[in-house]
Amino acid sequence: MNQEIAAPPNFTVLLSPTPRGARLARLLATEQLRAWNVPLDRATQIVAELAANASTHGRVTGRDFRLTLYVIAGTLRIEVSDTRGDRLPRVQLEEPGAESGRGLLLVEAFADRWGVARGPYPRKTVWAEVKLAPVVPLVPCAQGKPRRNRRTGDAPS
């Protein structure tokens, strides 16, 4: 018999390398992650920083940047690709009073892993991964209100 295999959720969008495009990346990612019931706090901050970097440092007139999100094996992967493969990102030491330069420090703090992949020419992709906590199913209790399963040791919500 034919059985459908569920593909992992994924989302991809091309955006203009402008401050408006970076903001739209964060807003679209927030809505997509909310639809997938993925925790937003760390992921949206990572998207905001990577999209801002793509629109600031990876900007090439007439070429968009790409935001891709997908979940596989309990891990959210965030990828932002631009067409400035000649400019690889690097973590910079904080300079007091500087108005920029902290983006990758934030990505490093919020992501479980991150890195850069080159290609195909002239592109580069900056990626970050966030491990997702397993979802504990709610089970009905005697009063009909859902609560967390006692076998997991989680306290009722």
| Segment 16-74, tens digit of pLDDT | 999 999 999 999 999 999 999 999 999 999 999 999 999 988 778 778 999 999 999 89
**Can you give the pLDDT at residue 89?**
76
Q: Please choose, from the candidates 27, 28, 47, 149, the residue with its C-alpha nearest in 3D space to the C-alpha of residue 103.
A: 47
| Segment 82-130, tens digit of pLDDT | 988 787 777 766 666 655 567 888 999 999 999 999 988 888 999 999 9
Output the pTM of the full model.
0.76
Higher-confidence residue of 154 and 80: namely 80
CA 3 to CA 62: how far, in whole Å?
44
- Arithmetic mean of pLDDT over the chain: 82
- The side-by-side arrangement of strands in the sheet containing 113-118 is 10-15, 65-72, 75-82, 124-131, 113-118
